Amino acid sequence: MDELKKYYLESGISEKVYDYCAKIEEKLKDRYDKIDKIAEYNQIKVQQAMAKCRLAEEHLKGTTGYGYNDSGRDTLEKIYAEVFHTEDALVRQQITCGTHALTIALAGNLRPGDEMLSIAGPVYDTLQGVIGVREEKGSLAEYGITYDQVDLLPDGSWDFDGIKNAIKENTRLIEIQRSKGYDTRPSLSVEAIGEAIKYIREIEAERGYKNKIIIMVDNCYGEFVETIEPSDVGADMVVGSLIKNIGGGMAPIGGYICGTHECIENAAARLITPGIKKEVGASLGVTAQFAQGLFMAPTVTAAALKGAIFAANVYEGLGFKAIPDSNEDRYDIIEAVTLGSPELIEAFCEGIQSAAPVDSYVKPVPWAMPGYDCDVIMAAGAFVSGASIELSADAPIKEPYAVYFQGGLTYPHAKFGIMMSLQKIVDKNSSIW
Protein backbone atom coordinates (compact mmCIF):
# COMPACT_ATOMS: atom_id res chain seq x y z
CA MET A 1 0.00 0.00 0.00
CA ASP A 2 1.44 3.40 -0.99
CA GLU A 3 1.95 6.05 1.68
CA LEU A 4 -0.71 8.44 0.32
CA LYS A 5 -3.41 5.77 0.39
CA LYS A 6 -2.34 4.76 3.87
CA TYR A 7 -2.66 8.36 5.01
CA TYR A 8 -6.21 8.59 3.64
CA LEU A 9 -7.19 5.36 5.40
CA GLU A 10 -5.80 6.69 8.66
CA SER A 11 -7.93 9.81 8.12
CA GLY A 12 -11.14 7.77 8.09
CA ILE A 13 -11.56 6.95 4.40
CA SER A 14 -12.33 3.30 3.73
CA GLU A 15 -10.32 1.40 1.14
CA LYS A 16 -13.42 0.91 -0.99
CA VAL A 17 -14.17 4.65 -1.09
CA TYR A 18 -10.51 5.46 -1.77
CA ASP A 19 -10.22 3.03 -4.68
CA TYR A 20 -13.49 4.18 -6.22
CA CYS A 21 -12.47 7.85 -6.05
CA ALA A 22 -8.99 7.13 -7.39
CA LYS A 23 -10.50 5.59 -10.53
CA ILE A 24 -12.76 8.63 -10.95
CA GLU A 25 -9.84 11.03 -10.63
CA GLU A 26 -7.69 9.21 -13.16
CA LYS A 27 -10.10 9.89 -16.02
CA LEU A 28 -10.34 13.64 -15.27
CA LYS A 29 -6.76 14.68 -16.05
CA ASP A 30 -7.54 16.14 -19.49
CA ARG A 31 -10.38 18.26 -18.09
CA TYR A 32 -8.17 19.48 -15.28
CA ASP A 33 -5.57 20.53 -17.82
CA LYS A 34 -8.13 22.70 -19.64
CA ILE A 35 -9.08 24.36 -16.36
CA ASP A 36 -5.42 25.13 -15.68
CA LYS A 37 -5.15 26.84 -19.08
CA ILE A 38 -8.10 29.11 -18.24
CA ALA A 39 -6.50 29.90 -14.88
CA GLU A 40 -3.25 30.79 -16.62
CA TYR A 41 -5.04 33.18 -18.97
CA ASN A 42 -6.88 34.89 -16.12
CA GLN A 43 -3.74 35.03 -13.99
CA ILE A 44 -1.91 37.01 -16.64
CA LYS A 45 -4.97 39.25 -17.12
CA VAL A 46 -4.96 40.14 -13.43
CA GLN A 47 -1.21 40.67 -13.31
CA GLN A 48 -1.31 42.95 -16.34
CA ALA A 49 -4.14 44.99 -14.79
CA MET A 50 -2.09 45.47 -11.62
CA ALA A 51 0.95 46.49 -13.65
CA LYS A 52 -1.05 48.89 -15.84
CA CYS A 53 -2.57 50.56 -12.78
CA ARG A 54 0.88 50.75 -11.16
CA LEU A 55 -0.03 48.96 -7.95
CA ALA A 56 2.70 49.88 -5.45
CA GLU A 57 3.68 48.88 -1.92
CA GLU A 58 2.40 52.20 -0.63
CA HIS A 59 -1.09 51.27 -1.84
CA LEU A 60 -1.23 48.29 0.50
CA LYS A 61 -1.27 50.47 3.62
CA GLY A 62 -4.61 51.30 5.23
CA THR A 63 -6.45 54.49 6.06
CA THR A 64 -8.83 55.32 8.91
CA GLY A 65 -11.57 57.80 9.60
CA TYR A 66 -13.13 59.25 6.50
CA GLY A 67 -10.60 57.63 4.19
CA TYR A 68 -10.09 60.70 2.04
CA ASN A 69 -7.27 60.33 -0.48
CA ASP A 70 -7.05 56.56 0.01
CA SER A 71 -4.81 55.85 -2.98
CA GLY A 72 -4.79 52.10 -2.35
CA ARG A 73 -8.58 51.86 -2.39
CA ASP A 74 -8.78 53.97 -5.54
CA THR A 75 -6.04 51.99 -7.29
CA LEU A 76 -7.69 48.68 -6.45
CA GLU A 77 -10.95 49.91 -7.95
CA LYS A 78 -9.09 50.89 -11.12
CA ILE A 79 -7.61 47.38 -11.24
CA TYR A 80 -11.06 45.80 -10.92
CA ALA A 81 -12.36 48.01 -13.72
CA GLU A 82 -9.39 46.96 -15.85
CA VAL A 83 -9.93 43.25 -15.15
CA PHE A 84 -13.64 43.47 -16.00
CA HIS A 85 -13.11 45.94 -18.87
CA THR A 86 -15.57 48.44 -17.39
CA GLU A 87 -15.54 52.21 -16.97
CA ASP A 88 -15.53 52.16 -13.18
CA ALA A 89 -15.74 49.95 -10.10
CA LEU A 90 -16.81 50.03 -6.48
CA VAL A 91 -14.82 47.59 -4.28
CA ARG A 92 -15.40 48.08 -0.57
CA GLN A 93 -15.22 46.23 2.72
CA GLN A 94 -18.30 48.25 3.73
CA ILE A 95 -20.23 45.92 1.39
CA THR A 96 -20.98 43.02 3.71
CA CYS A 97 -21.98 40.24 1.29
CA GLY A 98 -23.12 39.45 -2.23
CA THR A 99 -26.76 40.20 -1.47
CA HIS A 100 -25.71 43.55 -0.03
CA ALA A 101 -23.75 44.37 -3.20
CA LEU A 102 -26.76 43.48 -5.35
CA THR A 103 -29.04 45.56 -3.12
CA ILE A 104 -26.78 48.59 -3.47
CA ALA A 105 -26.66 48.18 -7.24
CA LEU A 106 -30.44 47.84 -7.48
CA ALA A 107 -31.41 50.54 -4.99
CA GLY A 108 -28.89 52.95 -6.46
CA ASN A 109 -30.14 52.57 -10.02
CA LEU A 110 -33.91 52.10 -9.62
CA ARG A 111 -36.46 54.78 -8.82
CA PRO A 112 -40.16 54.68 -7.80
CA GLY A 113 -42.25 53.53 -10.75
CA ASP A 114 -39.41 51.55 -12.30
CA GLU A 115 -39.65 47.82 -12.83
CA MET A 116 -36.93 45.22 -12.33
CA LEU A 117 -37.15 42.17 -14.57
CA SER A 118 -35.36 38.87 -13.94
CA ILE A 119 -35.01 36.81 -17.13
CA ALA A 120 -33.39 33.69 -15.66
CA GLY A 121 -36.24 32.70 -13.38
CA PRO A 122 -36.46 33.38 -9.65
CA VAL A 123 -33.68 35.39 -8.05
CA TYR A 124 -31.63 33.93 -5.20
CA ASP A 125 -33.54 33.39 -1.95
CA THR A 126 -32.01 36.27 0.02
CA LEU A 127 -32.65 38.73 -2.83
CA GLN A 128 -36.35 37.91 -2.84
CA GLY A 129 -36.75 39.83 0.41
CA VAL A 130 -34.82 42.76 -1.03
CA ILE A 131 -37.12 43.19 -4.04
CA GLY A 132 -40.31 42.38 -2.14
CA VAL A 133 -41.26 38.97 -3.53
CA ARG A 134 -41.10 37.98 0.11
CA GLU A 135 -42.38 40.78 2.33
CA GLU A 136 -39.55 42.45 4.26
CA LYS A 137 -39.04 45.87 5.81
CA GLY A 138 -37.22 48.25 3.50
CA SER A 139 -37.79 46.23 0.33
CA LEU A 140 -37.76 47.86 -3.09
CA ALA A 141 -41.49 47.18 -3.29
CA GLU A 142 -42.03 49.59 -0.40
CA TYR A 143 -40.51 52.31 -2.57
CA GLY A 144 -42.83 51.64 -5.49
CA ILE A 145 -40.43 49.54 -7.52
CA THR A 146 -42.12 46.55 -9.16
CA TYR A 147 -40.76 43.16 -10.12
CA ASP A 148 -41.43 40.65 -12.86
CA GLN A 149 -39.65 37.53 -14.05
CA VAL A 150 -39.36 35.25 -17.04
CA ASP A 151 -38.44 31.64 -16.39
CA LEU A 152 -35.93 29.78 -18.48
CA LEU A 153 -37.30 27.14 -20.82
CA PRO A 154 -37.25 23.53 -19.57
CA ASP A 155 -33.92 22.91 -21.34
CA GLY A 156 -32.32 25.88 -19.56
CA SER A 157 -32.32 28.19 -22.60
CA TRP A 158 -33.78 31.68 -22.85
CA ASP A 159 -37.49 32.22 -23.37
CA PHE A 160 -36.97 34.97 -25.93
CA ASP A 161 -40.68 35.43 -26.62
CA GLY A 162 -41.34 35.65 -22.89
CA ILE A 163 -38.58 38.25 -22.50
CA LYS A 164 -39.95 40.36 -25.34
CA ASN A 165 -43.46 40.30 -23.88
CA ALA A 166 -42.24 41.10 -20.36
CA ILE A 167 -40.20 44.18 -21.29
CA LYS A 168 -42.34 47.28 -20.80
CA GLU A 169 -41.88 51.03 -21.01
CA ASN A 170 -40.99 51.20 -17.30
CA THR A 171 -38.60 48.22 -17.34
CA ARG A 172 -35.54 50.03 -16.06
CA LEU A 173 -33.27 47.16 -15.03
CA ILE A 174 -32.94 43.56 -16.18
CA GLU A 175 -31.21 41.17 -13.81
CA ILE A 176 -29.47 37.98 -14.91
CA GLN A 177 -28.37 35.52 -12.25
CA ARG A 178 -25.40 33.66 -13.68
CA SER A 179 -25.29 30.86 -11.12
CA LYS A 180 -28.13 28.49 -10.33
CA GLY A 181 -28.47 29.41 -6.65
CA TYR A 182 -30.75 27.02 -4.75
CA ASP A 183 -32.18 25.74 -7.98
CA THR A 184 -31.49 22.78 -10.25
CA ARG A 185 -31.43 24.76 -13.49
CA PRO A 186 -28.21 25.03 -15.48
CA SER A 187 -25.87 27.90 -14.70
CA LEU A 188 -25.36 30.35 -17.55
CA SER A 189 -22.32 30.73 -19.77
CA VAL A 190 -21.02 34.19 -20.60
CA GLU A 191 -21.77 33.43 -24.25
CA ALA A 192 -25.42 32.71 -23.40
CA ILE A 193 -25.63 35.90 -21.33
CA GLY A 194 -24.25 37.80 -24.32
CA GLU A 195 -26.99 36.39 -26.55
CA ALA A 196 -29.66 37.64 -24.16
CA ILE A 197 -28.06 41.08 -23.90
CA LYS A 198 -27.90 41.39 -27.69
CA TYR A 199 -31.58 40.44 -27.95
CA ILE A 200 -32.58 43.01 -25.33
CA ARG A 201 -30.67 45.76 -27.15
CA GLU A 202 -32.45 44.83 -30.38
CA ILE A 203 -35.82 45.19 -28.65
CA GLU A 204 -34.77 48.60 -27.29
CA ALA A 205 -33.77 49.79 -30.75
CA GLU A 206 -36.94 48.44 -32.34
CA ARG A 207 -39.19 50.15 -29.81
CA GLY A 208 -37.16 53.35 -29.57
CA TYR A 209 -37.12 53.52 -25.78
CA LYS A 210 -35.98 56.87 -24.40
CA ASN A 211 -34.06 55.39 -21.48
CA LYS A 212 -31.57 52.58 -21.98
CA ILE A 213 -32.35 49.48 -19.92
CA ILE A 214 -29.65 48.69 -17.37
CA ILE A 215 -28.53 45.07 -17.59
CA MET A 216 -27.07 43.77 -14.34
CA VAL A 217 -25.48 40.34 -13.90
CA ASP A 218 -25.27 38.64 -10.52
CA ASN A 219 -21.77 37.28 -11.08
CA CYS A 220 -21.42 35.38 -7.78
CA TYR A 221 -19.58 32.06 -8.14
CA GLY A 222 -18.77 32.76 -11.80
CA GLU A 223 -15.67 34.96 -11.79
CA PHE A 224 -12.65 33.48 -13.61
CA VAL A 225 -14.47 30.28 -14.54
CA GLU A 226 -14.16 31.41 -18.16
CA THR A 227 -11.70 33.73 -19.90
CA ILE A 228 -14.38 36.43 -20.35
CA GLU A 229 -16.85 38.04 -17.95
CA PRO A 230 -20.42 39.31 -18.55
CA SER A 231 -19.11 42.86 -18.84
CA ASP A 232 -17.20 41.73 -21.95
CA VAL A 233 -20.50 40.94 -23.68
CA GLY A 234 -22.40 44.10 -22.84
CA ALA A 235 -23.54 43.95 -19.20
CA ASP A 236 -23.81 47.41 -17.64
CA MET A 237 -23.04 46.06 -14.17
CA VAL A 238 -21.46 42.89 -12.81
CA VAL A 239 -21.84 42.32 -9.10
CA GLY A 240 -20.35 39.88 -6.63
CA SER A 241 -18.89 39.03 -3.24
CA LEU A 242 -15.23 39.12 -2.26
CA ILE A 243 -15.57 36.01 -0.10
CA LYS A 244 -16.40 34.00 -3.20
CA ASN A 245 -14.18 33.46 -6.26
CA ILE A 246 -12.81 36.95 -6.75
CA GLY A 247 -11.40 37.29 -3.21
CA GLY A 248 -9.18 34.26 -3.66
CA GLY A 249 -9.70 33.12 -0.08
CA MET A 250 -7.80 36.15 1.22
CA ALA A 251 -10.49 38.84 1.46
CA PRO A 252 -12.05 38.86 4.95
CA ILE A 253 -15.22 40.65 3.80
CA GLY A 254 -16.40 42.83 0.96
CA GLY A 255 -18.17 43.07 -2.36
CA TYR A 256 -17.73 44.64 -5.77
CA ILE A 257 -19.75 46.33 -8.48
CA CYS A 258 -18.08 46.96 -11.86
CA GLY A 259 -19.82 48.83 -14.63
CA THR A 260 -20.53 52.13 -16.34
CA HIS A 261 -19.60 55.42 -14.67
CA GLU A 262 -23.26 56.28 -14.18
CA CYS A 263 -24.21 52.92 -12.64
CA ILE A 264 -21.24 52.99 -10.26
CA GLU A 265 -21.87 56.59 -9.29
CA ASN A 266 -25.49 55.74 -8.47
CA ALA A 267 -24.46 52.67 -6.47
CA ALA A 268 -21.81 54.65 -4.56
CA ALA A 269 -24.41 57.29 -3.67
CA ARG A 270 -26.54 54.53 -2.18
CA LEU A 271 -23.66 52.81 -0.34
CA ILE A 272 -22.15 55.98 1.12
CA THR A 273 -24.37 59.03 0.66
CA PRO A 274 -25.53 61.31 -2.15
CA GLY A 275 -23.03 64.05 -2.84
CA ILE A 276 -20.05 62.21 -1.33
CA LYS A 277 -20.23 58.92 -3.24
CA LYS A 278 -16.85 57.20 -3.68
CA GLU A 279 -14.78 59.89 -1.94
CA VAL A 280 -14.89 58.31 1.53
CA GLY A 281 -14.64 54.85 2.98
CA ALA A 282 -11.48 54.03 4.89
CA SER A 283 -9.73 50.82 3.83
CA LEU A 284 -8.71 49.95 7.43
CA GLY A 285 -5.76 47.89 6.27
CA VAL A 286 -7.57 45.33 4.10
CA THR A 287 -6.31 46.58 0.72
CA ALA A 288 -3.37 44.17 0.78
CA GLN A 289 -5.71 41.20 1.40
CA PHE A 290 -8.10 42.38 -1.32
CA ALA A 291 -5.27 42.81 -3.82
CA GLN A 292 -3.53 39.55 -2.97
CA GLY A 293 -6.85 37.73 -3.03
CA LEU A 294 -7.58 39.05 -6.52
CA PHE A 295 -4.11 37.94 -7.59
CA MET A 296 -4.72 34.42 -6.22
CA ALA A 297 -8.30 34.17 -7.47
CA PRO A 298 -7.68 32.53 -10.88
CA THR A 299 -5.81 29.54 -9.41
CA VAL A 300 -8.09 29.26 -6.37
CA THR A 301 -11.13 29.25 -8.67
CA ALA A 302 -9.46 26.53 -10.76
CA ALA A 303 -9.04 24.39 -7.63
CA ALA A 304 -12.71 24.82 -6.77
CA LEU A 305 -13.73 23.91 -10.33
CA LYS A 306 -11.71 20.72 -10.21
CA GLY A 307 -13.37 19.80 -6.93
CA ALA A 308 -16.83 20.41 -8.41
CA ILE A 309 -16.07 18.22 -11.43
CA PHE A 310 -14.70 15.51 -9.15
CA ALA A 311 -17.89 15.66 -7.05
CA ALA A 312 -20.14 15.38 -10.12
CA ASN A 313 -18.30 12.31 -11.34
CA VAL A 314 -18.17 10.63 -7.94
CA TYR A 315 -21.88 10.98 -7.24
CA GLU A 316 -23.19 10.49 -10.76
CA GLY A 317 -21.22 7.25 -10.88
CA LEU A 318 -23.33 6.06 -7.95
CA GLY A 319 -26.64 6.94 -9.62
CA PHE A 320 -27.30 10.37 -8.09
CA LYS A 321 -28.30 13.29 -10.29
CA ALA A 322 -25.58 15.93 -10.55
CA ILE A 323 -26.04 19.43 -11.97
CA PRO A 324 -23.93 20.14 -13.96
CA ASP A 325 -23.51 16.50 -14.88
CA SER A 326 -20.17 14.74 -15.10
CA ASN A 327 -19.50 15.80 -18.70
CA GLU A 328 -21.02 19.27 -19.01
CA ASP A 329 -18.99 22.45 -19.37
CA ARG A 330 -18.68 24.49 -16.19
CA TYR A 331 -19.94 28.06 -15.79
CA ASP A 332 -19.70 28.43 -12.01
CA ILE A 333 -18.06 26.62 -9.10
CA ILE A 334 -21.27 25.18 -7.62
CA GLU A 335 -22.16 21.52 -7.90
CA ALA A 336 -25.69 20.42 -7.02
CA VAL A 337 -26.25 16.77 -6.12
CA THR A 338 -29.78 15.51 -5.60
CA LEU A 339 -29.55 13.01 -2.76
CA GLY A 340 -33.28 12.46 -2.30
CA SER A 341 -33.58 12.58 1.50
CA PRO A 342 -32.77 14.83 4.47
CA GLU A 343 -30.71 12.03 6.03
CA LEU A 344 -28.29 11.81 3.11
CA ILE A 345 -28.02 15.60 2.92
CA GLU A 346 -27.02 15.70 6.57
CA ALA A 347 -24.52 12.88 6.05
CA PHE A 348 -22.96 14.72 3.09
CA CYS A 349 -22.60 17.91 5.12
CA GLU A 350 -21.13 16.01 8.06
CA GLY A 351 -18.42 14.73 5.73
CA ILE A 352 -17.59 18.19 4.41
CA GLN A 353 -17.45 19.57 7.95
CA SER A 354 -15.21 16.78 9.21
CA ALA A 355 -12.74 17.57 6.40
CA ALA A 356 -12.57 21.27 7.30
CA PRO A 357 -9.42 22.87 8.73
CA VAL A 358 -11.52 24.88 11.21
CA ASP A 359 -14.30 23.41 13.42
CA SER A 360 -13.86 19.92 11.98
CA TYR A 361 -15.28 18.46 15.19
CA VAL A 362 -18.62 20.27 14.80
CA LYS A 363 -21.71 18.42 13.56
CA PRO A 364 -23.83 20.63 11.24
CA VAL A 365 -27.59 20.58 11.79
CA PRO A 366 -30.48 22.24 9.91
CA TRP A 367 -31.70 25.56 11.32
CA ALA A 368 -33.98 28.48 10.49
CA MET A 369 -31.41 30.68 8.76
CA PRO A 370 -32.52 34.32 8.19
CA GLY A 371 -33.52 35.08 4.61
CA TYR A 372 -34.70 31.57 3.70
CA ASP A 373 -38.17 30.02 3.62
CA CYS A 374 -37.16 26.68 5.17
CA ASP A 375 -34.50 25.18 7.42
CA VAL A 376 -31.02 25.19 5.90
CA ILE A 377 -28.01 23.06 6.76
CA MET A 378 -24.54 24.46 6.20
CA ALA A 379 -21.13 22.83 6.46
CA ALA A 380 -18.15 25.16 6.50
CA GLY A 381 -14.99 25.21 8.53
CA ALA A 382 -13.39 28.25 6.96
CA PHE A 383 -10.65 30.73 7.80
CA VAL A 384 -13.09 33.46 6.71
CA SER A 385 -16.53 32.87 8.17
CA GLY A 386 -19.04 32.02 5.45
CA ALA A 387 -16.50 32.17 2.63
CA SER A 388 -17.95 29.95 -0.07
CA ILE A 389 -14.73 29.94 -2.06
CA GLU A 390 -13.48 27.80 0.81
CA LEU A 391 -14.69 24.21 1.04
CA SER A 392 -18.36 24.29 1.99
CA ALA A 393 -21.74 22.72 1.37
CA ASP A 394 -25.26 23.80 2.13
CA ALA A 395 -28.79 22.72 1.39
CA PRO A 396 -32.37 23.82 1.99
CA ILE A 397 -34.24 21.01 3.72
CA LYS A 398 -36.97 20.66 1.12
CA GLU A 399 -37.67 18.80 -2.12
CA PRO A 400 -35.83 17.69 -4.18
CA TYR A 401 -33.32 17.40 -1.31
CA ALA A 402 -30.34 18.64 -3.28
CA VAL A 403 -27.08 19.63 -1.63
CA TYR A 404 -24.91 22.40 -3.06
CA PHE A 405 -21.15 21.93 -2.87
CA GLN A 406 -18.65 24.64 -3.66
CA GLY A 407 -15.16 25.88 -2.99
CA GLY A 408 -11.83 24.54 -1.99
CA LEU A 409 -8.77 26.78 -1.74
CA THR A 410 -6.73 23.84 -3.01
CA TYR A 411 -7.81 20.89 -5.11
CA PRO A 412 -6.44 18.27 -2.66
CA HIS A 413 -8.62 19.74 0.07
CA ALA A 414 -11.73 19.80 -2.14
CA LYS A 415 -11.04 16.20 -3.14
CA PHE A 416 -10.66 15.11 0.48
CA GLY A 417 -13.92 16.82 1.42
CA ILE A 418 -15.83 14.99 -1.30
CA MET A 419 -14.30 11.67 -0.25
CA MET A 420 -15.31 12.31 3.35
CA SER A 421 -18.85 13.24 2.27
CA LEU A 422 -19.14 9.94 0.43
CA GLN A 423 -17.71 8.06 3.39
CA LYS A 424 -20.35 9.52 5.74
CA ILE A 425 -23.12 8.61 3.28
CA VAL A 426 -21.79 5.05 2.96
CA ASP A 427 -21.61 4.78 6.74
CA LYS A 428 -25.28 5.81 6.95
CA ASN A 429 -26.52 3.81 3.96
CA SER A 430 -24.13 1.20 2.62
CA SER A 431 -26.69 0.07 0.04
CA ILE A 432 -25.72 2.95 -2.30
CA TRP A 433 -22.95 0.70 -3.63
What is the DSSP code string of 341-404?
Answer: SHHHHHHHHHHHHHT-SSSTT-----B--TT-SS-EEEEE--SSTT-TTSSEEEEESSTT-EEE
Query: Which of 398, 394, 396 is closest to 382 using CA atoms?
Result: 394
pTM given for the model: 0.95
Q: What does the alpha-carbon distance between residue 203 and residue 212 come to, in Å, rounded to a whole number?
A: 11
H-type alpha helices, 150-215: 160-166, 190-207
Instruction: Going residue by residue through the chain, which has 433 residues, state the pLDDT in tens, using 9 for 90 and above.
Output: 699 999 999 999 999 999 999 999 999 999 999 999 999 999 999 999 999 999 999 999 999 999 999 999 999 999 999 999 999 999 999 999 999 999 999 999 999 999 999 999 999 888 999 999 998 999 999 999 999 999 999 999 999 999 999 999 999 999 999 998 777 788 999 999 999 999 999 999 999 998 899 999 999 999 999 999 999 999 999 999 999 999 999 999 999 999 999 999 999 999 999 999 999 999 999 999 999 999 999 999 999 999 999 999 999 999 999 999 999 999 999 999 999 999 999 999 999 999 999 999 999 999 987 767 789 999 999 999 989 999 999 999 999 999 999 999 999 999 999 999 999 999 998 888 8
Q: Are 232 and 85 in contact (CB under 8 A)?
A: yes
Domains of the chain: 3-41+298-432 (3.90.1150.60), 62-294 (3.40.640.10)
Confirm if 110 and 171 have CB atoms less than 8 A apart.
no
